[in-house]
Amino acid sequence: MAMMALTLGITILNVVILATLLIIYLQNYLKLRASFNLGLSIFAVILTIRELSTAYFVYTMMAHDDILGIPMFIFGILETAAFSTLLWITVK
C-alpha cells in the first residue's frame, strides 16, 4: 500500500508538471502562432490524460501493492525525471 501511495503522489506531480508545460506551450502558441507550439500543446494534453488515467489505475489497484508497487513507482520516477527535464529546458 505504501509504494502505490508514493506512486500516486508521483503521478499527481507529473500531472502538475504537464499542466505547467501546457500553459507555457499555449501561451507561446497564442503569442507566436507557430504550429510547433500547437503540437507541443496537443502532446502535453495527451500525456496529461495518460497520467490522469494512471492515477485512477493506481488508486483502484492499491490493494495489489505487492505485485505492482515497485514497477509502477520506478516508471513514475522515470516519467517525472523526463517531464522535469522537459520543463527545465522549456523555461530556460
Task: Provide the pLDDT for residue 27.
Answer: 97
Residue 17 forms part of a structural domain: yes
Average pLDDT over residues 49-71: 89
Contact predicate 15/52, CB 8 Å: yes
Contacts of 41 (CB under 8 A, 6+ apart): 22, 25, 26, 29
Domain that holds residue 83: 2-87
Residue 38 is assigned to a structural domain of this protein:
yes
Q: What is the pLDDT of residues 2-57, one digit of tens each?
A: 888 999 999 999 999 999 999 999 999 999 999 999 999 999 999 999 999 999 99
Counted domains in the chain: 1
Is 26 a member of any domain?
yes
Residue 92 lies in a domain: no
C-alpha span between 6 and 87 (Å, rounded)? 22
The answer on pLDDT for 65 being more than 80 is no
What's the rounded Cα separation, in Å, for the pair 36 and 28? 10
Is 36 among the domain residues? Answer: yes
Does residue 49 form part of some domain? yes
Beta strands in 1-92 (DSSP E): none
Tell me which of 68 and 13 has the higher pLDDT. 13
Q: Looking at residue 63, what is its pLDDT?
A: 83
